[in-house]
Amino acid sequence: MPDKPSYLNFDLTSYAWKPDINYRDHPELYRVGKGEQGVLICEPYKSEIGQYWRFKTKEIALESSATIYAMFCSYVEAGDFVGADMARKYLQMGYTRARRYANYKGGKKYDETDNYRLLERGTGEQEKAEAAAVFYEQWKAAKANPVYSTLKKQWKHERG
């Protein structure tokens, strides 16, 4: 039997990020985590950044990723690590989600009707691959930002 997707039987109570916390007011409660963890939960950043997150076409991805990267830079300039990390996560998620749609038709990776069998790869859209490449460049630029890197190291050392 193949491994089932991690979102099945997900235990929200043990998840480090909570939807009822304002992470701007309580940044000390924020955890960096791995990859994109917490990106769709942490307010007010989810609402601020998420409204610009789009990857339907390369042109839409160009506008979206540029807007989110500009937000990232503003957060970094303000010393708002949580905001910067969330913007970086949205850029990463733009890449990973667009790649999912590039790899799998309709973005569906598992067959829910067949014990979550992994579906055939390579059935997706080329346009999404182009959108993914756009987000990839912005994500890598954000990760390489020296001020952000310093803030992240300090944050992880002090808070986890």
Q: Are 110 and 5 in contact (CB under 8 A)?
A: yes
Under DSSP, the state recorded for 117 is E
Residues 120-152 have pLDDT tens digits of 877 778 999 999 999 999 999 999 999 999 999
Q: pLDDT band for position 1 (50/70/90)?
A: very low
Residue 103 · residue 120 · CB < 8 Å: no
Six token digits for residue 7: 């979102």
Local structure of residue 17 (DSSP, 8 states): -
3-state SS assignment for residue 28:
helix
Question: Would the pLDDT of 7 be above 80?
Answer: no
pTM, rounded to two decimals: 0.88
Distance in angstroms (rounded) separating the CA atoms of residues 128 and 97: 9
